Amino acid sequence: MIPLRKLVQRQFAFAVFASLYLLGSLVHEHFRSVAFIQSPVLPSFIILAVYTLSLLLSKKVNKKWYRIAMIPAILFFGGLGVVGNLILFMNSGLAYYSSYNMWLIALGINFYGSMLNIFALLGLYKE
């Protein structure tokens, strides 16, 4: 089992990686007229901000609320981020992505975060 402090640090790192991907997508779109992925960036940033705030529950409030906060995180990042990207790729190929590598990076970031969130939800950490 992973110490809770390290789990939360990795969850925070996931949020940073995801935010950098979105920021990079905006910059790429500005200079190349094509984003890494055609998805609304502002709602994604808002979800990541709320998620990052939910990580504070691991320290400030009963751990039960931290674990409960992982349910919507798993639905967003696992459901939309992993399953959604897989389905979109299977149905449309690279039509919604700037390249295969950008699709793979998006999938990897969301998979990483989803696994961390599943560990948190299931309480697979030590205090």
* pLDDT at position 22: 96
Global pTM reads 0.93
26: Cβ contacts below 8 Å, ≥ 6 apart: 35, 41
Neighbours of 30 (CB within 10 A): 9
User: Three-state secondary structure along 9-26?
Assistant: HHHHHHHHHHHHHHHHHH
- What pLDDT was estimated at residue 40? 87
Q: What is the pLDDT of residue 73?
A: 98
Amino acid 90: pLDDT: 96
Q: Record the tokens describing residue 93, joined without a space.
A: 């190929």
pLDDT at 38: 84
Residues of the chain with confidence (pLDDT) below 70: none
